[in-house]
């Protein structure tokens, strides 16, 4: 039995990895490694193949929802945590007892007109978005179906 499709927002700094990098990636797929926050990890564990992803550019000018992606592989162990040379190495996570997970997402499209953060703030229907909460830093967060629809409309 298939449950309804769910929606998420994932942040990335475009100077590190942008929606355009995703479009150019092999098979237009990337693994979302390096997440080292429990709440964000738990949201990734809740993702199902086919779920929608808003690809958000943080630390950008302007910060904006830049396009769409979709989940193509469910959460599995993030091996970058095992590598002492990796930026996101975490000795608490081992292949036997992994702590951190990643998912894989595939490019869907880049918005011709990315939807900037300050535009999102002006939309009454988006008042409850996690992204807009003061002090919110979650890099992976759920998005309501209504919010997803509104943002797609704003991107047209």
Partner DNA sequence: GCCAACGTTGGC
Binding site for DNA (CB under 7 A): 11, 13, 37-39, 58-60, 63, 92, 117-118, 133-139
Comparing C-alpha atoms, which of 138, 45, 46, 30 is closest to residue 80?
30
The nearer residue to DNA, 38 or 153, going by C-beta atoms, is 38
- To DNA, the closest distance from the beta carbon of 58 in angstroms equals 4
The residue (of 28 and 34) whose beta carbon lies closer to DNA is 34
Gap between the Cα atoms of 153 and 114, Å rounded = 11
Which residue, 92 or 112, is less far from DNA as judged by CB?
92
Q: How far is the CB of 2 from DNA (least distance, A)?
A: 31
What is the nearest approach in angstroms of DNA to the Cβ of residue 43? 13
Of 24 and 38, which has the nearer Cβ to DNA? 38
Q: 156 burial class (0-12, 13-18, 19+ CB within 10 angstroms)?
A: exposed
Q: Nearest to residue 104, comparing CAs of 140, 79, 72, 56? A: 72
Give the nearest distance from C-beta 40 to DNA in angstroms: 9
Cβ contact 151:101 at 8 Å: no
- CB contact set of 133 (below 8 Å; sequence gap of 6+): none
Shortest Å, Cβ 47 to DNA:
18
Question: ∠59-14-76 over CA atoms, to 5°?
Answer: 105
Torsion 87-90-94-95 (CA) sign? negative
Q: Which is nearer to DNA, 49 or 103 (CB)?
A: 103
């Amino acid at each position: 039995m298939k449950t309804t499709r769910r929606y998420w927002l994932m942040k990335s700094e475009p100077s590190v990895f942008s929606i355009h990098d995703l479009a150019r990636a092999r098979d237009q797929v990337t693994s979302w490694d390096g997440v080292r926050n429990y709440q964000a990890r738990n949201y990734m564990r809740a993702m199902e193949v086919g779920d929608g992803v808003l690809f958000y550019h943080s630390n950008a000018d302007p910060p904006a929802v830049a396009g769409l992606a979709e989940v193509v592989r469910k959460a599995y162990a993030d091996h970058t945590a095992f590598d002492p040379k990796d930026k996101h190495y975490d000795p608490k996570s081992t292949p036997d007892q992994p702590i951190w997970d990643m998912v894989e997402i595939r490019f869907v499209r880049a918005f011709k007109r990315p939807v900037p953060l300050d535009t999102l703030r002006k939309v009454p229907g988006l008042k409850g978005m996690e992204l807009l909460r003061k002090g919110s830093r979650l890099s992976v967060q759920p998005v309501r179906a209504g919010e997803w629809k509104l943002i797609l409309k704003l991107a047209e």
